Structures are given as structure tokens and as C-alpha cells.
Amino acid sequence: MALMVQQQLCCVAFVATAFLMLLTGRGNGKSIRLSAKINNKRKRQAEESSKQTEAAAGNADGPSNKKSKKGKSKPKKGGKDKKDKPQQDASEKEQRDTKQTETKGGSKRHNKELTAVELSDLSVPESSFLDTSSFDSARQLEKLPAFLKAFSPKGSDLSRPSEEKGTPHTLVVSPSGLRAADAVRALRTFQTKESPIGKLFAKHIKLEEAKKFLERSRIAIGGGTPARISDLIDAGSLKLGELQRIVIDGSYVDQKQRGIFDMKETHLPLLKLLTRPEFRERYGAEEKRIHILVF
């Protein structure tokens, strides 16, 4: 439509120019020929305009019809479902398989470089774990003292340390230094002047400082991380003669919803700590038995 209007305006302008020439006498003898040219040009423009209008109309109808037909076309019944359903089923199956693999093979998943024999050496006997399902309070750090009391012999004083320095009766194992520091603060209810809570983690505490602390202090309870606790045992500073229980801080999860058993950086150090020969020989023993409790 715009093209047609533009052509008509051009034609009007052309005629007006020619008519002006006639009025001013500039056409003279050429006026007849000019008038004929104008008429012919107007006819050609009218014919071209008509053809272009029809072509434009045809183009406008063509895509519309095609689009309409395409829009009316319906997929075969169940076509989309049949195409997408196998992909959906495969995806769900993959998720189920992945979850089962993570549940069944945690040690192998985190420690692929270990052989089957090495993995079996890192297994902890089920009998070493004490059943703590009867503790129905929330597993939050402020409840940790109550948790320890609930699973300690009646009448026992958890604040009372051993006569030998660096010899706790309870170790609380957390996944990180920050979490261990929080656990130590929660355990201060058992702290006395003669028996501070042992800080057995690397956060702001050098290994040599921790050694010196254990060599001069009588502690009843220590809180730390798997790697630092193992280092202090290897150094001989942390003694295990009076150890009765190892409490694993299993209720904590980080921003990625990972707990101490899920983190690759803590999984192997924790297993190595729990399967130390000093502990293995006392799991299930009648004397000086060590229990593992998961908080």
C-alpha cells in the first residue's frame, strides 16, 4: 500500500511539473509530445503498480497460509511423549544408580586410588558403633553436652581428667577447624581450671603449640579434626590409655549439604583415624573398650 501511494505521488509530481512548463510557455512545440509521454508513463506506472500490488498480496497470503497450515498440523498422538519418555526414564535411572553408588561405595568413591585390600583395611566393624537413636533431641551443638551425658555411665564425671597429662577420655571429631572450635566452645560446660577442653585442630594453632599444650595439661575432653588428632597421636603427645569414646560430629553439613562422611578431604583421614591399631584392638574389648558415637 505504501509503495502504491509513493508511486501515485511521483506521478502527480511529474504531471504538475509538466503542467507548469505548459503554463510558463517553456513547452511550446514539445507540449503535445510531452503530454503523450506523460500519459504513457502514467499508464506504465499504473500497470506496474497493479502488478506489484497483486504480487505483494500473493506474498502476504502465502506465508500466512503456510503458517496457518503449519499451525493446524497436529503431532501424532503420543508422539512427543514417546520421544521424550525414554530420555526421562534414562535420566531418572541414572540418578537412582548414582545415588545407590554413593550410598554403597562411599570409600571407593572418595578413594579411587586405593586397592580393594587397602579399602578393607579401612573398614570399621559395625559392633564398634554405639546405638544413639534413643537421643531424641535436636543434634545441635548446644545439645552436645547432654548427648555425652546420655551415653556415659551413670554417676561418671565428664569433667574429671586423667592423672596423666594429654590423656582424654573423650574425643570429639569434627570435619573442619572452624566447626571443631565451635564444638570446643559447646563443651566448655565440662571445663575446669585443672582440665581445659583440648583444642586439637589446626585453625590458628600450630602443631608444636598443640604438642606443648598436651604435654603440660590434663584434659578430659578434646575436640579436633581427624588429621590433627592423628598427627598428635603419632607425635606421642596425645595419649589413648584412658580413651573411652570417639564422638563423630555427624550432624554438621556445609553449604553444599555435605557432612563429615561426604567430604573427600575428611573421609579418608577419618577412616585412617578410626582404624588405627590402637583403636582396632579395643573395639569390642572387655577391658578399656572404645565406643564410636555419631552425634
**Is the separation of the CB atoms in 256 and 211 below 8 Å?**
no
Sorted by where each begins, the domain ranges of the chain are: 137-294
Answer with the residue of higher pLDDT: 109 or 25: 109
Strand order from edge to edge, sheet including 291-294? 198-200, 221-224, 170-173, 245-248, 291-294
Q: What is the CA radius of gyration of the chain?
A: 44
Q: Which CATH number fits domain 137-294: 3.30.420.40, 3.40.50.2300, 1.10.760.10, 3.40.50.300?
A: 3.40.50.300
Q: What is the DSSP string of the chain?
A: -HHHHHHHHHHHHHHHHHHHHHHHT-SGGGHHHHHHHHHHHHHHHHHHHHHHHHHHHHHHHHHHHHHHHHHH--PPTTHHHHHHHHHHHHHHHHHHHHHHHHHH-HHHHH-TTS-HHHHHHT---GGGBPP-TT--S---GGGHHHHHHHTS-TT--TTPPPSSTT--SEEEE-SSHHHHHHHHHHGGGG--SS-PPEEES-TT--HHHHHHHHHH---SEEEE-HHHHHHHHHTT-S--TT--EEEE--S---TTS--TTT-HHHHHHHHHHHT-HHHHTTTT-SSS--EEEE-
β-sheet bridge partners, residue 245: 170, 291
User: How does pLDDT run across 28-74, given as a tens digit for each residue?
Assistant: 444 444 444 445 545 565 666 666 656 655 554 544 444 444 444 45
| End-to-end C-alpha distance for the chain, whole angstroms | 81
pTM: 0.63
**The predicted structure's pLDDT at residue 118:** 61
User: How does pLDDT run across 75-96, given as a tens digit for each residue?
Assistant: 455 444 445 555 555 544 444 3
Q: What are φ and ψ of residue 149, in 5° steps?
A: -65, -40
Is the pLDDT at 202 greater than 60? The verdict is: yes
pLDDT confidence bin for 265, thresholds 50/70/90: confident
Query: What is the distance between the alpha carbons of residues 227 and 202, in angstroms, rounded to a whole number?
Result: 9
Is the pLDDT at 151 greater than 90? The verdict is: yes
**The predicted structure's pLDDT at residue 115:** 65
**The predicted structure's pLDDT at residue 123:** 83
User: How does pLDDT run across 24-40, given as a tens digit for each residue?
Assistant: 344 444 444 444 444 55
